[in-house]
A and B are shown apart, each in its own frame.
Chain A
Amino acid sequence: MPTLTLLQAVNDGLKSVMRTDPDVLVFGEDVGLKGGVFLATEGLTNEFGKERCFDTPLSEDGIIGTAIGMAMNGLRPVAEIQFQDFIFPAFDQIVSEAAKLRYRSGGQYTAPMVIRTPYGGGIRGGLYHSQSGEAYFAHTAGLKVVIPSTPHDAKGLLIASIQDPDPVLFMEPKALYRSVKGEVPEDVYTVDLSTLRRVREGKDVTIFCYGAMVPVVEKAATQAAAKGIECTVVDLRTLLPLDEDGVLEAAKSTGRVVVVHEAPRFCGYGAEISALIAERCIEYMEAPVKRVTGFDTPFPNTLEHHYLPDDRRVLDAIEQTFEF
C-alpha cells in the first residue's frame, strides 16, 4: 500500500473515481494545467482531458450554480472552491439551491455533487485564507458536511461523498495537506459518511475534534497520558448528519468532555456537541463540557498561532476537566 500525504490522497481519490465513472468531472479556478493552487488536482487534465478537468471563470456563484445544473442533468460534478474563504459568493447556490432542491421538488430533482474546499488556518493566510466555515454549512438541512483528517479517510470519504446521492461539502484541512502521511489503498474504497472514528481510547476524558485539530488533540492527549490522564479522542469526520449515537457513547464512557475546533466559539460546532450532551446524557457527566476554539474574532495573520488552539490549550482544558 502506498504512503501518501492527505493532499495526494485527495488527488488519488479524484483520479480513482474519474477512472471508473465517466460522469465525474472536476472544475473550478486553476484546477487545470496549474493543478489547483495546492496541487490537489495535479495531473487530472493530462489524464482525463480538458473535457473532464477544467478551469472556470472567476465566479464561485457560477461554479456552484452550474454544478447544480450538471448534477440535475446526470453528471457528477466535483467543484473546487479555491479557499473556503471564497465560498461566500456561492453561499446562495449552496444553501438555497443545492441543499433544498430535493425537498422543494418532492424528490423529483436532486443535486448529487461534491464541493471540495480547503479550509482552516496555519498557513499565514490572514483573514481570508484561513477561515473555518463549517458552522454556516452544518446549519443547512439537505447538505452533508465532511472533514477528513487522515489520508486514508480523505480518499475514502471523498469517494463516498462523490457517490452519495446528496450534495456534500467536503472540507479539506489545508494545514494537514502535506503534514500528515499514511497508507492509502490503491483501489476504489469508501469510508461511510456519518460514522465517527475513535482515534484513541482512554477512560478519563473524551475529546471531540475534526480536521486539522485531530493531530493537535492527539499530541495533547499524549502529553496528558504522561501525566496520568487517559483520553478518548474522537474524530467526528462527518459533521452533518452527525453520528449522534457515537458521540453520546463516547461522552458517556468518560463523563468528561472537551470539544476542540479552530472556528470561533460562538454558535460554533462545539455548541451543538455540548447541547447534544446536555440534552441527552447530562446524567453521565462528571464535569462541565469545555470548549477549546478559535477566538470570536476574525482570523489574524501574524498572530495566527496564538489564535489557533494548540496542544497547550488542549492540555490545559484536559487537565481542568479532569480535575473538576
Chain B
Amino acid sequence: MDTTELLKVIEPDGATPGFDTDLSDAELVHCYRTMLAVRAFDDVCMKLQRAGRIGFSIPNKGIEATQVGAASAIDKTDFLFPSYRDFGMALYHRVPPVEMMHNMFGNELDSAHGRQMPVHFSFVDPIRLYSISSPIGTHIPHAVGAAHAFRLKGEDRVCLVSFGDGGTSSLGFHSGLNFAGVWKAPVVFLCQNNGWAISCPSEEQTASEGYAIKAKAYGMPGIVVDGNDLLAVRQATSDAVARARRGEGPTLIEARTFRMGGHSTSDDPTRYVPAELLEEWGRKDPVTRFQRYLEKEGIWTAKLEEQLTAEVSAEINAAAKVAEGTGQPGLETIFSDVYADLPTHLRKQGEFLFDLTARRGDAAAGDGAFPL
C-alpha cells in the first residue's frame, strides 16, 4: 500500500496524459453539471441565510470534485453515509434539489419534518443517504455496521462514508476503522482533508504525516488523492469500491482539498484562514480544472456552460421558491417518530400542547439565526 504518493489525473491545464476515463460524455457532463449545481445551491442558500429566510447553511465551495468524484464511484444500490458538507453526493445521485430545499427550510415536506437543522439531509430514494447527524464521527461505525450486514447477508453492496480531517480525531473514526479492518467490511472511508476543522488547521489536528497513513493502524490500505481532481477521486474510490466488493475489506482515502468558504454561514474565516492560502487554492479550483479537462476533450463549449448554468440556476431557484412556500410541519410532528408507536405519556403531552395552543394562542417564533 502506498500512503504517500498523491494520486492525480487531471493536470492544472486540463490535460490527462495517459489516462482514459470509463465515463461516457453524457456522464462527464452530468458530473460537471452536478458541480455547477452545488455552487448554485451554495449561492442560493447563502443569500437565503443572509436574508434571514433560512437559519443556516454549509458552504461546499472547493470540495465539489471530491464529493462528485467519490459519489460517481458507487451504485444507486449502495449506501451513502455523507458528512454535512456533501451536497454534491446527493445531487450527483439525482436527489431532487427541491427535496434538499425542503430540509433547508425545515418545512412540512422535509423528510425529517423539520426536526433537524438545515443541511442534515436524509433520503431513501433515489439512493440511500443516511440521515446526517451533527455529532462528528458517529456515523462512521454506523457505515461499518451496515457494510458488515451486507457481507453477512451475502449482498454485493458497499458503504461509502465521508468525514472531515477533524473527524479522524473522533472516537467513531477509531472504533469504525478498527472494526472494519477486523471484519473486512465492504466500506470505503473518505476523509475529506479540506485543511480545517472549523478554525483548527489540519496540522494541529494530528501530528501524523497526513491522514491516509492512519490506515496503517487498522491494517488497511491508505490512499492519498488530489481532492480537487474529480477523475482522480473517482479512480481512487472506484478501486476501493472494487476491492470492497471482492471481499478484500475497507480502504481509507484521503482527499486533499481546501474549504474555500467559511465553516458555515455563521463563521468568519478571515479570523483564522491566511489570505495567501485562499489565493493559492483559488488557483486550483476544482470546477475550473474539470472544465478545462472537458474543453480539452472537446466536450465543453461556452454554449454548454451557458446552458448548464441557466438550467441549474433555474432549477435551484425554483426549488427554493417551492420550499419557501411550503407550510410548516404540524405540531404533531414534535411527538411522532420518537418511537414506532406513540406512547401514552407522549400522547398526553401532545394533547396538552394542542389544548394550550387553542386556549392561549400560538408560541412566538424566534429569529431563527444560528450562531455556528
Asked if the two chains touch in their complex, CB atoms less than 8 Å apart, one says yes
Q: How far is the CA of A179 from the CA of B134 in the complex (A)?
A: 25
Q: What distance in Å separates the Cβ of A166 from its nearest Cβ neighbour in chain B?
A: 26
Q: What distance in Å separates the Cβ of B267 from its nearest Cβ neighbour in chain A?
A: 8
A32 interface residue (CB < 8 Å to B): yes
Q: What distance in Å separates the Cβ of B191 from its nearest Cβ neighbour in chain A?
A: 12
B368 interface residue (CB < 8 Å to A): yes
User: A125–B117 contact, CB under 8 A?
Assistant: yes
CB neighbours (8 Å) of B368 from chain A are 124
Q: What distance in Å separates the Cβ of B61 from its nearest Cβ neighbour in chain A?
A: 19
- B137, B199, B345: the one contacting A34 at CB < 8 Å is B199
User: B331–A306 contact, CB under 8 A?
Assistant: yes
A89 interface residue (CB < 8 Å to B): yes
A19 interface residue (CB < 8 Å to B): no
CB neighbours (8 Å) of A62 from chain B are 169
User: B346–A61 contact, CB under 8 A?
Assistant: no
Report if A295-B356 is in contact (Cβ < 8 Å); known contacts: A37-B198, A306-B363.
Answer: no
- A37, A57, A83: the one contacting B206 at CB < 8 Å is A57
Number of interface residues of B (CB under 8 A): 59
User: A129–B370 contact, CB under 8 A?
Assistant: yes
User: A300–B114 contact, CB under 8 A?
Assistant: yes
Contacts of A266-324 to chain B: CB distance below 8 A: 266, 295-298, 300-308, 310, 312-313, 315-316
Q: What distance in Å separates the Cβ of B261 from its nearest Cβ neighbour in chain A?
A: 15
User: A301–B356 contact, CB under 8 A?
Assistant: no
CB neighbours (8 Å) of A127 from chain B are 115-117, 133-134
B135 interface residue (CB < 8 Å to A): yes
A153 interface residue (CB < 8 Å to B): no
- B56, B350, B361: the one contacting A124 at CB < 8 Å is B56
**Chain B interface secondary structure, helix, strand, loop or mixed?**
loop
Q: What distance in Å separates the Cβ of A217 from its nearest Cβ neighbour in chain B?
A: 16
B372 interface residue (CB < 8 Å to A): yes
User: B198–A305 contact, CB under 8 A?
Assistant: no
Contacts of B188-244 to chain A: CB distance below 8 A: 197-200, 204-206
Nearest-neighbor residue (CB-CB) of B107 within chain A: A302
Report if A303-B120 is in contact (Cβ < 8 Å); known contacts: A29-B198, A297-B338, A316-B360.
Answer: no
Contacts of A22-73 to chain B: CB distance below 8 A: 29-30, 32-35, 37-38, 55-59, 61-62
B249 interface residue (CB < 8 Å to A): no
Q: How far is the CA of A85 from the CA of B117 in the complex (A)?
A: 14
- B113, B267, B349: the one contacting A295 at CB < 8 Å is B349
User: A58–B117 contact, CB under 8 A?
Assistant: no
Q: How far is the CA of A303 from the CA of B115 in the complex (A)?
A: 8
For A32, A129, A302, A303, the residue with the greatest tally of chain B CB atoms inside 10 Å of its CB is: A302
A109 interface residue (CB < 8 Å to B): no
For A32, A126, A129, A300, the residue with the greatest tally of chain B CB atoms inside 10 Å of its CB is: A126
**Given A58-B166, A125-B370: 11 more A-B contacts, CB < 8 Å:** A29-B198, A58-B137, A58-B169, A58-B205, A62-B169, A89-B135, A89-B170, A129-B117, A295-B353, A297-B335, A312-B363
User: 7 A-B pairs, CB-CB below 8 angstroms?
Assistant: A34-B272, A37-B371, A55-B204, A58-B170, A58-B205, A174-B371, A297-B335
Return the 10 tightest CB-CB contacts between A and B, nearest first. A302-B114, A128-B134, A34-B199, A302-B106, A126-B117, A58-B166, A57-B169, A305-B363, A124-B55, A58-B169
